[in-house]
Chain A
Amino acid sequence: MYKIWIIFEREYLQRVKKKSFLIGTLLTPLILPLIMGITIFFLSSDDKKKRIISCIDYNSLIVDSIGFDNNIIVPTNMKLELLNKKINSDEIYGALVIPKFDIYDPSGIKFYSKTIPSGDLIYDIENIIEDKIKGVKIKDLDLNQESLDKFITKVSLNTYSISETFSEDNNSNLEAKKSSSAMAWGLGYFNGFLIYMFVFIYGSFILQSVLDEKSSKVVEVIISSVKPFQLMMGKVLGVGAVAFTQILIWIILAVTISTLTSTYFGYDGSNSVNEIMSVQENSDQSKEIVFGIFDMISSVDIKKIVIIFIIYFLGGFFLYGAFFAAIGSAVDNLQDASQFTLPISLPIIASLMFMAIVLENPDSNISIFLSMFPLTSPILMMARLTFGVPDWQLLLSIFLLILSVLFALWFAGRIYRVGILTTGSKITYKLLWKWFIMKNY
């Protein structure tokens, strides 16, 4: 055990002391918002370009110019051929042709432009025309606008998840946790994706680290002092601890930032949405949004999620880390490694793809199965978790994961002990199997 600790210590300190670790840890949380910010910036700046759409209207629906976003629809009497020329010379963006039709059967509306217009633009134009037709219809049928408005009703559903133990508060009202399915979806996706990222990035760190030891030939010097299995364990644990440190720093950062923001906005968890609603008129919009977010966050059991996240993170990391270590020990260079990393990566990538199914339908049989199956459970149980998972499923899934981790480490150890001393031979699955079953090495 002590020797595993020595290997662990070196592996951990070597990585954490590097400047790139600190920079990476601090910058990564900024990258995602940064990319989003840049995208939004470009999208909005792109929209600022004013686009003119000429409209030939045989129904006289559009009499005056109509502006929307940064676009404007201008009625015209010009011929389509002329408009066509104007489009080609970029004088106008497009041409809308509304043929003569019966307003109860509007068809044959055409839009011409040089490039294919975005879905948003088409949607907007369709809305405008529908609106105009509606106006004509109201007049035609002699309807009252006021009574029509009363027809429109808006309902929004508040969802609650019921915990197994009901508690009644002082007013004898059933208290159930207010849940938000959008929140559950977002958090589920976030957690699943985080595990996916860590398993991949740190898994390849293990592979790289094992491979480096083998190719720099330091490995035989080391294993004359430690058993190969101890070396492998120390390494996997060391890299795992680096990942863990990174997550820990992020959690601390997130908690600090959220505490600071909440005190800034004067939110204390006891405020309910209703209270916020009641003061809505006085408060500005941004405050309302921030309160809404905090309310949603406080609706989920953060402590439980963090603990289970750590369990699945460690489980997933060790499971795949063991396989990556085995691959790194067997091959001589990174090129050879790729043929073996592909089958190992498949379940990880598949998990990410299945995540959509699981988030859409967290209680379906396939979701339950995928959150039990050890190769996919680290990512997909995390995706399901925020929607509420029965305890027995959670425990069974963790139990299966632990069993698989033990098996994977044992399996990898048997490959590793032979692999690190073998160079220059062509590695096949058959050979790996022979190494695995070899009794005495």
Chain B
Amino acid sequence: MDLLNVKNICKSYVNHRALDNISIDIPRSSIFGLLGPNGAGKTTLIRIINQIINQDSGKILLHGKNINYDDIRKIGYMPEERGLYKKMKIGDFLLFMGKLKGLSRSESINSAKNWFNNLEVSNWWNKNIEDLSKGMSQKVQFILTVLHNPDLIILDEPFSGFDPVNTNLIKKNLLRLKDEGKTIIFSTHRMESVDELCDNLAMINKSKTILSGKINDIKSAYKSDIYKIKHLNRIDDKISNFSVIDSKIVFDNIYESEIKLTKKISSNDLLRLLLSNSIEILEFKQKTPNMNDIFIMKVEEGNNNV
């Protein structure tokens, strides 16, 4: 079942159209990647889901029902532009935010202590915010986001400012939250983390959805017709249906080659073709694109069409 449905959302600002008929379905207990280059409209969509701004038309459904203002308690949002009150103590700030989310004092304290443990920080309750390093304040911001145990966690560029160690720590926690049944949307224009975290994704460019679905489906849909092969004996150039892009000797009579199909044939047919040409296959792998390649390809495709 879907936790969140975005249906035909349109939004225009004073000078431009930010979202044009965007529809996205986000399954419960999954990590959803909202991708797109800068200025694509990701943040606008997230702000609409958080009811910070209103859509011009279209609907947002949470648990299948029209979202209303009380639902923001079920959402934890970490904006891209995030900061803290410099002149406050961490504890006071967490209590303040907890109160705004409807938590009692003790609920806030318990939840915060819990998260201090999860994120491997000592008790920061009485620390001044202005004394925090960038990485430390990022952790505090993450705690703020999940303090009230929201069903839906929305993270806008969560890993900017984190070092690799802390990035892994946050990733670990995100996966754990997913296993606990939480749904996570994370918006980014950096693809490295998408591959390893996301189950589903939608790609927005120039205020339109240009791609959406399960990450595995998308990857297989964008499987290229390039194969990486490790084999004995040289491949003869004259075999039809494919061309050799690259071939080098690794050791003795062992070759590593990249071949590209020139005619649409299945991988089984390709394998048979090679075997029948007395090439002994040691490794056979279809080259799948990573999300970064797909992203760049789709965005460039879109730009060329305009």
Q: Which residues of A contact B (CB under 8 A)?
A: 3, 6, 10, 14, 213, 216-228, 421, 423, 431, 434-435, 438, 440-441
Measured CB to CB, the closest approach of chain B to A218, in angstroms, equals 4
In the complex, chain A residues whose CB is within 8 Å of the CB of B69? 227
Query: Is the beta-carbon distance between A217 and B77 smaller than 8 angstroms?
Result: no
Residue B97 is within 8 A (CB to CB) of chain A in the complex: yes
Q: Which one of B78-86, B233-241, B289-297 contacts A?
A: B78-86
Which residues from A are CB-within-8-Å of B96? 6, 10
Q: With the chains together, A14 CA to B14 CA distance in Å?
A: 37
A-B contact pairs, 19 of them (CB 8 A): A6-B96, A6-B100, A10-B96, A14-B87, A216-B86, A217-B81, A217-B82, A220-B81, A221-B82, A221-B97, A224-B52, A224-B77, A224-B79, A225-B97, A421-B53, A423-B81, A440-B55, A440-B56, A441-B53
- Pick the contact of B54 from A10, A222, A423, A440 — CB < 8 Å? A440
Asked if A421 and B52 sit within 8 Å, CB to CB, the answer is yes
Chain B residues lying within 8 Å of A14, measured Cβ to Cβ, are 87-88
With contacts A224-B77, A225-B97, A225-B100 known, what are 10 further pairs, Cβ within 8 A?
A10-B96, A213-B85, A217-B81, A218-B85, A221-B84, A223-B52, A225-B72, A226-B100, A431-B14, A440-B54
* Contact status A221-B54, CB under 8 Å: no
Find chain A residues with CB under 8 A from B56 CB.
440
**Shortest distance between the CB of A69 and any CB in chain B (Å):** 55
Which residues of A have CB within 8 Å of B83? 216-219, 221
Contact, CB under 8 Å: A216 / B84: yes
By the criterion CB–CB under 8 Å, are A3 and B100 in contact?
yes
Q: Mark B41-57, 1 if CB is under 8 A from A, else 0.
A: 00000010010111110
How does the 8 Å CB contact mask read for B127-159 relative to A, with 1 for contact and 0 for none?
000000000000001001000000000000000
> A217 contacts which chain B residues (CB < 8 A)?
79, 81-83
- Is B19 on the interface with A (CB-CB < 8 A)? no
Cα separation A223 to B101 with both chains bound (whole Å): 11
Inter-chain contact A220/B72, CB cutoff 8 Å:
no
Rounded to whole angstroms, the CA-CA distance of A81 and B221 in the bound complex is 111
Q: Which of A3, A216, A221 has the most CB of B within 10 A?
A: A221
**What is the interface of chain B, defined by CB distance below 8 A to chain A?**
14, 47, 50, 52-56, 69, 72, 75, 77-79, 81-88, 96-97, 99-101, 141, 144
CB of B50 within 8 A of CB of A224, answer yes
Query: In whole angstroms, what is the CA distance A441 to B52 when docked?
Result: 9
A221 and B144 contact, CB distance less than 8 A? yes
Beta-carbon contact of A216 and B85 below 8 Å: yes
Residue on B with the closest CB to A13? B92
The CA-CA distance from A217 to B82 in the complex, in Å, is: 5
Contacts of A441 in B (CB 8 A): 53-54
Across-interface contacts of B77 in A (CB, < 8 A): 221, 224
> Do A221 and B72 have beta carbons less than 8 Å apart?
no
Measured CA separation A122–B72 after assembly (Å): 77
CA distance A76 to B7 in the complex (A): 105
Residue of A nearest to B86 (CB): A216
* Bound-complex Cα distance A215 to B84 (A): 10
Q: Which residues of A contact B144 (CB under 8 A)?
A: 221
Bound Cα distance from A217 to B97, whole angstroms = 15
Residue of A nearest to B77 (CB): A224
Residue of B nearest to A223 (CB): B52
Instruction: With a 10 A CB-CB cut-off, give which of B53, B56, B75 has the most chain A CB atoms.
Output: B53
Q: Identify the closest chain B residue to A215 (Cβ).
A: B83
Of chain A, the residue at the smallest CB distance from B78 is A221
Min CB distance, B35 to chain A, in Å? Answer: 21
User: How close is B64's CB to chain A, nearest CB, in angstroms?
Assistant: 22
B85: chain A residues at CB < 8 Å are 213, 216, 218
Chain B residues, Cβ within 8 Å of A213? 85
Residues of A within 8 A of B72 (CB): 224-225
Which chain B residues border A218 with CB–CB below 8 Å?
82-85
Query: Nearest B residue to A217 by beta-carbon distance?
Result: B83
What is the CB-to-nearest-CB distance from A428 to chain B, in angstroms, rounded to a whole number?
Answer: 12
Q: Report B-chain residues with C-beta under 8 Å of the C-beta of A421.
A: 47, 52-53
Chain A residue at smallest Cβ distance from B99: A6
Question: Across chains A and B, which 3 residue pairs bring their CB atoms closest together, nearest first?
Answer: A217-B83, A220-B79, A225-B100
Residue numbers in A under 8 Å from B47 (CB-CB) = 421
**B53 contacts across to A, CB distance below 8 A:** 421, 441
Complex Cα–Cα for A272 and B106 (A): 63
Which residues from B are CB-within-8-Å of A223?
Answer: 52
CB < 8 Å: which of A10, A220, A434, A435 contacts B52? A220
Give the residues in chain A near B75, CB-CB below 8 Å.
224
A228: B residues at CB distance < 8 A: 52
Question: Which one of B54, B56, B69, B81 has the highest number of Cβ atoms from chain A below 10 Å of its Cβ?
Answer: B81
Report the Cα distance A220→B47, complex, angstroms: 9
A226 (CB) vs chain B CBs: closest residue: B100
Closest to B46 in A: A224
Across the interface, do A222 and B81 meet the contact criterion of CB distance under 8 Å? Answer: no
Closest approach, in angstroms, between the C-beta of A74 and any C-beta of chain B? 67
CA distance A223 to B81 in the complex (A): 12
In the bound assembly, the distance between CA atoms of A209 and B81 in angstroms comes to: 18
Give the chain B neighbours of A221 by CB distance below 8 A: 77-79, 82-84, 97, 141, 144
A219 to B50, CA, bound (A): 14
Partner of A222, one of B55, B78, B87, B100: B100
The distance in angstroms between the C-alpha atoms of A10 and B75, with both chains bound, is 23
Closest to A221 in B: B82
Report the bound CA distance from A219 to B47 in whole Å: 13
Q: Give CA–CA (A434, B47) in the complex, Å.
A: 20
- Measured CB to CB, the closest approach of chain A to B301, in angstroms, equals 29
A440 to B100, CA, bound (A): 24
Chain B residues near A6: list those with CB within 8 A: 96, 99-100
Contacts of B55 in A (CB 8 A): 440
- Smallest CB separation, B156 vs chain A (Å): 9
Q: When chains A and B are docked, how far (Å) is the Cα of A435 from the Cα of B15?
A: 12
| Bound Cα distance from A227 to B96, whole angstroms | 15
Q: B14 to A434, Cβ gap below 8 A?
A: yes
Q: Which residues of A contact B99 (CB under 8 A)?
A: 6
Min CB gap A333→B, angstroms: 15
Residues of A within 8 A of B78 (CB): 221
Kindly report which residue of chain B lies nearest to residue A222, judged by CB atoms: B100
> In the complex the two chains form, is A225's CB within 8 Å of B101's CB?
yes
Residues of A within 8 Å of B88, CB to CB, are 14
Most buried by A among B55, B83, B101: B83
| Chain B, residue nearest A438 (CB) | B14
B75, B96, B100 pick with most chain A CB within 10 angstroms:
B100
A18 to chain B: closest residue by CB: B87
- What is the CA–CA distance of A130 and B87 in the complex, to the nearest angstrom? 69
